Amino acid sequence: MGDPIRVLVVDRHELFRRGVIRALQDRKDLEVVGEADRGARALGLARELMPDVVLVDLDLHDDDGLQFIRSVRGHLPYVRVLALSIAEEDAVVFEAVKAGASGCVLKNAPAGQLVEAIQQAARGEAVLSGTLAFRMLEELAKEMLGPGTRRPARTEREVLTPRESEILRLVCRGLTNREIGDRLGISAYTVRNHLRNVLQKLHVRNRAQAAAWAVRGQLLER
């Protein structure tokens, strides 16, 4: 087992912070390295303690949770941030992700779900529901391609092989190369080669742009 994931908990409510810490403290793969109730103090602690993941309440004392996320990602880009929210409202979660959060966890989520979300964030993965991930890609397509950009022509869609289309769909659902390989029974190296072909065929630079093309061209179903 490697080093434990270092976690900083930032929430305005002491009882909730204490509950989160108790839920995590007995796990050998996680280590709570600090806590704070305000964004300014939390940013200083993050610089000092160098956590892997910061759990942050979007409703901080005298602070804007979104601005705190931007500050952490701007000053400490290696730190992943998970937003904590009392309700999974698409608009709120979407703004948190745009600010730099890896995703959002409901404050009434089971401890196991919170742990899994922390592990995902530490691996650099998005922590989003399938529906919300699809909406994020739709917005990404609009921002990257612009409202006047044409959708991929049918001939462009048809250049992808069935396997390449299958892999692109899984990319759009936020899966890593290893997870895609496990699901399809192929190696991560093979997945990477397929994705390289997809990028070349669609004339895009990275997997995010390929996913945006897929959503913009209505190649995927919700």
Tell me the per-residue pLDDT of 23-37, one tens digit each, with 9 for 90 and over. 998 899 999 999 998
Residue-level pLDDT at 213: 75
Instruction: Kindly report the CATH number assigned to the domain that includes residue 181.
Output: 3.40.50.2300
Q: CA distances (Å), 126 to each of 18, 39, 129, 212, in order?
A: 26, 23, 9, 16
Confirm whether 153 is domain-assigned. yes
For 130-156, letters b (16+ CB in 10 Å) and e give eebbbbbbeebbeeebeeeeeebeeee
Confirm whether 72 is domain-assigned. yes
Q: Domain containing 175: what range?
A: 133-216
**Is the pLDDT assigned to residue 58 strictly greater than 50?**
yes
Residue-level pLDDT at 203: 80
For residues 10 and 104, membership in a common domain is answered with yes
For residues 31 and 116, membership in a common domain is answered with yes
Residue-level pLDDT at 216: 63
